[in-house]
A and B are shown apart, each in its own frame.
Chain A
Amino acid sequence: DTGVSQDPRHKITKRGQNVTFRCDPISEHNRLYWYRQTLGQGPEFLTYFQNEAQLEKSRLLSDRFSAERPKGSFSTLEIQRTEQGDSAMYLCASSSLAGASYNEQFFGPGTRLTVL
């Protein structure tokens, strides 16, 4: 069990550019979540997948954000036409629907996005 991994760990971009982040969940975990965290705040839910199906999206998620999990394994989160308000830590988590750690969400190290 190597844990949840995210890539890149840091991203600096200019306003208006598109960025894409990748998340690799713990193997065999059915559910994958994306959260966003700004300084001094707790993580805020963005969207989640069960296998390859996107089951829920937050009202916070504007049309500029899109997420995919094409084969039910890794996931990507794309932000188009970035704005300075998108600067945050983007966190990925995964959980299992079975086993001893059922329903426990394990987080990755995050991707720190800075929009200049």
Chain B
Amino acid sequence: EDQVTQSPEALRLQEGESSSLNCSYTVSGLRGLFWYRQDPGKGPEFLFTLYSAGEEKEKERLKATLTKKESFLHITAPKPEDSATYLCAVQDSGYSTLTFGKGTMLLVSP
């Protein structure tokens, strides 16, 4: 059974204070690893898909990396508008569905 564990559960940063969120996963075969952002009361917003170890993708202040066992979402010089819950999900090879972690709730204070 696929498993996704995200840490920390919650993270509080000062504006400009860079940090990383972790996503550890167990799958029989990884087809893709997905990162989403979710604001309260809204649906998840797609950020990145990573397909192979060593792959990196960037978008504004966010950078996602992937190894064979985990993924990191690096946030550089965050702003208050980056406050949200960040969800990680894996897609097992041979399947189309996603298995999500519980998310990391990020709060960036001005």
Question: Interface of A with B (CB < 8 Å)?
Answer: 4, 6, 31, 33, 35, 40-45, 48, 50, 55-56, 58, 91, 93, 95, 103-110, 112
Residues of A within 8 A of B97 (CB): 33, 45, 48, 56, 58
Q: Which are the 4 A-B pairs with shortest beta-carbon distances? A: A42-B100, A107-B43, A45-B97, A107-B44
Residues of B contacting A: mostly: strand
- Can you offer 28 A-B residue contacts whose CB atoms are under 8 A? A4-B43, A33-B97, A41-B102, A42-B102, A43-B98, A45-B97, A45-B99, A48-B96, A48-B97, A50-B96, A55-B96, A56-B97, A58-B97, A103-B31, A103-B49, A103-B96, A104-B46, A105-B34, A105-B46, A105-B98, A106-B46, A107-B36, A107-B43, A107-B45, A107-B46, A109-B42, A110-B42, A110-B43
Q: Which A residues are in CB contact (< 8 Å) with B4?
A: 42
Instruction: Determine the distance from Cα of A110 to Cα of B41 in the docked complex, in whole angstroms.
Output: 8
Rounded to whole angstroms, the CA-CA distance of A57 and B109 in the bound complex is: 42
CB-CB contacts of B73-105 with A at 8 A, as 1s and 0s? 000000000000001010100011111111100
For the side of the interface on B, what is the size category? 20 to 34
User: Of A58, A93, A112, which is in contact with the most chain B CB atoms at under 10 Å from its CB?
Assistant: A93
